[in-house]
Amino acid sequence: MATRVVIVPGNGCGQVEQCNWYAWARDEINKKYEGVECILRPMPDPDMARESIWIPFMRDELCCDEQTLIIGDCSGSEATMRFVESYKVHSIILVSPCVTDLGEENEKLSGYYDRPWEWAKMRSNTQSITVFGSTDDPYIKWAEMQEVIDNLNPELHKFHDRGHFEVATFPELIPTVGRRVHQK
C-alpha cells in the first residue's frame, strides 16, 4: 500500500500551485484517501528540469521510496522513468510521457535523453505503471507515447481530445490513484 503520492510537474511550472491540475489533484487525493499524503512542491531548476538536479531532489527532499506513488507530468514523466531505473517505488502514473528531446534544445540539455531507456529496470522497480495520453497532444506525438506503452506495458488511458492535459481539473486521475494506493 502506498502512503505517499508525489506529483512531479512538467518543466516550466515554477508556480506549481497555479499550474495545470496539480494543486487540484493534491487536494482531492488528500481529501479522499485517508492515511495517504499527497505532496506537491516546487521543483528546483523548474525550467531546465535537469536530471542531475531533479533525481536527487525526488530521492532526498520528496522522499520517493517503496511506499510512494509518483505522478509525473510531461518532463516529470521522464524524471519519473529515470528515477525508477535506479530506485524502487510503489507505482508510477505517467502523463504525456516521451522518449526523445523532441528537437528542443532545452529538453536536450535536461539529460534524460542522452542514453537508452532501461525499460526492464523500470518495470522491476515498481508494482504498477499507468499512462495517460492523448492523440491530439500538441507537443508530444503519439508515437513517443506509444514507445513508452510498448516497452512498459502499462494500464493505458488513451484520449483523443485532451491535448497536453493543461487543465485545472483531471477527474480521471483520482480513481486511478485510489486503485494504486490501495494496491498491496
- CA-wise closest residue to 24 among 11, 35, 9, 34: 9
Give CATH superfamily name and number for 4-181: Alpha/Beta hydrolase fold, catalytic domain (3.40.50.1820)
pLDDT at 184 over 80: no
Distance CA 60, CA 67 (A): 14
Q: How many CB atoms lie within 10 A of CB 127?
A: 16
Sorted by where each begins, the domain ranges of the chain are 4-181
- The predicted-structure confidence for 25-60, as pLDDT tens digits, reads as follows 999 999 999 999 999 999 999 999 999 999 999 999
SS3 content of the chain, % helix, strand, coil (to 5): 35, 20, 45
Q: How many CB atoms lie within 10 A of CB 27?
A: 12
Stretch 2-11: mean pLDDT, rounded?
96
- The predicted-structure confidence for 99-132, as pLDDT tens digits, reads as follows 999 988 888 999 999 999 999 999 999 999 999 9
- For the beta sheet containing 89-95, the strands, ordered from the edge strand earlier in sequence to the opposite edge, are 37-40, 4-8, 68-73, 89-95, 126-134, 155-159
Handedness of CA 42, 120, 162, 183 (dihedral sign): negative
Stretch 154-177: mean pLDDT, rounded?
97
Read off the pTM.
Answer: 0.97
